[in-house]
Structure 1
Amino acid sequence: MSYILCCIDGKNYSQSACDYAVHISNNMNLPLRFLHIIEHTSKSDSLDLSGNISLGEKDDMIEEYTNEESIKNKNLIKEGKTLLNDLKQRAKQECKNEITILQVHGDLLETIVEVENQTAVLVIGIASKENHKIGDNVKDIIRSIHKPILLVNSEFIEPKKLLLAYNGSNESKKLLNETSAKPIFKDIIREIVNINDDKIASAKLVDEAKKIFEKQNIKVNTSVLSGEPSSTILNYFEEKDFDVLAMGAFGNSRIKEFIFGSFTSKILANIKKPILLFR
């Protein structure tokens, strides 16, 4: 059985990510799993092997590094277990489904990819502020996972209004098909928006998107906007007071992303509320 996977690190909105994951777990009637990953690192906080040092000195310093890593790992394991147990207790207050916790050593991206087939929705807390650059590890996860990903960058607010950005791409079609067949958010006002100076083409696209939801008897509103895509959608999102933005993420080509200035990256760097992505 698949589950809602909430990946936490204790730094980036872990409690908010927990609350959103619980909300989605209840909506989709799926188990909830919290995952804490202890990543291996070769960087020492105090060790410097550069410069001219003797063989004996280097051996002593390597031993110091080994001891330092052992202490650091023990602390990370302890802190991670405490965090997992605290969030499990927090989730139990509202979650209607089974809750499990898992702590592993390894690479963040590799670990998430390994459990992709069991993951229905991935929830991650991220540090996101206006004009803040999102870490490459988050972008790599988005590019690698073919499941809906909710990026949490603010305190939990029960979602009431969802804005779906639709441009007719394979990514945005997959998102609409996925979220209409298995609604991640229930009892929510949905609006589909397309940004295009060609009003006829834009109306055709939003009508196409609307029909995807109509097949599942889900009501949606539609809007057609024009202007620079990233700023237009961000302004509309804030003006209409939406709670979550949903959109297809990146393209299949990094060259295409470079040419178009990465619409996804601009949205990630500037949006102040959670964003649901699908690639």
Structure 2
Amino acid sequence: MTDQVMAAIDGSHFSTGVCDYAAWASLAMAAPLTFLHVVDNHPQVAEANLTGNIGLGSREHLLEELTSLDEQRARLAQEHGRVTLEAAKARAVEDGVTEPSSRQRNGELVETLTELENDIRLLVIGKRGEAAHQAPEHLGSNLERVVRSLHRPILMVPDEFRAPKRVMIAFDGSKTTRKGVEMIAQSPLFKGIDCHVVMVGAEVADVRSQLDWALKTLSDAGFEAHGEIRAGEVEASLRGYAEEHDIDMLVMGAYGHSRVRHLLVGSTTTTMLRRASLPVLLLR
């Protein structure tokens, strides 16, 4: 099934938000919805850890027990995944989605999503997974790897759903963010939603003309468009604007070299994503 909204879920408390945002996107885009659960069956204990001063027979017995435990863990993980998928589908039906589907795969999440990439129109994923650290500003390592590996729009969501009414585009005039403006203008996902375009930099003619282009593109598509150029530090400026205008969703490019897009360059996860309490749509 191609051109679908795919929602990656696990046992984390973010799964509820993933379900609801995925259902919202599926309905808005009139696209089929598929829930994905990936079971990582990698053994928990390596054989090398058992080579101490125990006898050969004891060591073989322990390995047999550990193998049995791994098999039990794998079965439990698969059953837990099946229950989670059924609950997600039921919730999506309550949200109004007709016949959501599900897939369960063995392996690693990033590799699985890469294999399924051609089927994905939009990926919805939580800020952190089941095994991630629970500190509010911690970002799951899986999410960071997914963003770097997948060439599809990725919607990172919080744990609670809030129907988007105002979306903010972090715009810098680059190819990626211009494509993002055009995507929003054309996509049914944002119909009826106010669009705010924010640039961070100096109020000069070139920057103003880029902002005017974005606003005109959105206005011509029927959107109520608002725009502003702000001076200052990028993350603080964007966060401040979002708070002042009660923004429900942030749209930004995932990679690049300009003042806005450099936020996601390099090995360090950006402050913008780590602090985000809003859903963030990342574009490649």
Mark yes or no: TM-score above 0.5.
yes
2:217 paired residue number: 212
**Corresponding residue of 2:15:** 14
Shift of the alpha carbon at 1:175? 2.2
Residue ranges of structure 2 left out of the alignment (5+ in a row): none
Is the Cα–Cα contact under 8 Å of residues 230 and 263 in structure 1 kept in the other structure? no
Decide which of 163, 183, 191 is 1:186's aligned counterpart. 191
Partner of 2:92: 91
Q: Tell me the SS of whatever aligns to 2:121.
A: strand
Change (3 A) 1:107 1:261: closer
Alpha-carbon separation, structure 1, partners of 2:126 and 2:5: 14
Does structure 1 retain, via aligned residues, the 8 Å contact 2:16–2:159?
A: no
Identity %: 32
Q: Distance in 2 between matches of 1:160 and 1:260?
A: 29
Secondary structure, aligned partner of 2:87: helix
In the superposition, relative to structure 1, how do residues 5 and 236 fare at CA in structure 2: closer, same or farther (>3 Å)?
Answer: same
Q: CA deviation at 1:198?
A: 4.3
Post-superposition shift, 1:113?
Answer: 1.1
- Structure 1 Cα separation of the partners of residues 162 and 193 of structure 2: 13
Q: Does residue 151 of structure 2 align to residue 151 of structure 1?
A: no
CA–CA separation in structure 1 for the residues paired with 2:274 and 2:262: 15
Deviation at 1:165, TM superposition (A): 0.4
Residue identity in the other structure for 1:35? L
Match of 1:23 in 2: 24
Q: Counterpart amino acid of 1:23?
A: W
Return the alpha-carbon distance in structure 2 between the equivalents of residues 263 and 176 of structure 1.
Answer: 26
Deviations 1:85-140 (A, max 9, x none): 11111111223443101111011111111111111111011239886231232111
Residue type matched to 1:227 in 2? G
Give the residue type in structure 1 aligned to 2:20: D
Task: Report matched runs for 1:46-57 at 5 Å.
Answer: 48-49=49-50, 51-57=52-58
Q: Which residue is 2:235 aligned to? A: 230
| Cα deviation, residue 42, structure 1 | 2.9
TM-score between both structures, scaled by the size of structure 2 = 0.87
Q: Which amino acid in structure 2 is aligned with residue 183 of structure 1?
A: P
| CA distance in structure 2 between the partners assigned to 1:240 and 1:177 by the alignment | 22
Q: How does 1:189-204 map to 2 (within 5 A)?
A: 189-204=194-209
Q: Find the counterpart in structure 1 of residue 283 from structure 2.
A: 278
2:182 is matched with 177
Partner residue in 1 for 2:4: 3
**Whole-angstrom distance in 2 between the partners of 1:10 and 1:143:** 23
1:169 Cα shift? 2.5
The answer on 1:111 being equivalent to 2:122 is no
How many residue pairs get aligned? The number is 277
Q: Write out per-residue CA displacement over residues 63-90 of structure 1, whole angstroms, 9 at most, x where no aligned residue.
A: 1221111111111111111111111111
Say whether the 8 Å CA contact 1:38–1:76 is kept in structure 2: yes
Q: For residues 49 and 185 of structure 1, do their structure 2 counterparts lie closer, same or farther at Cα, with a shift above 3 Å needed?
A: farther
| Pairing 1:163–2:164 present | no
In the alignment, structure 1 segments of 5+ residues that lack a partner are none
- 1:60–1:243: structure 2 CA closer, same or farther, 3 Å change rule? same
Indicate how the Cα distance of structure 1 residues 162 and 129 shifts in structure 2: closer, same or farther if over 3 A, else same: farther
Deviations 1:140-177 (A, max 9, x none): 11122121111111311111111110112233233223
RMSD over equivalenced CA pairs, Å = 2.8
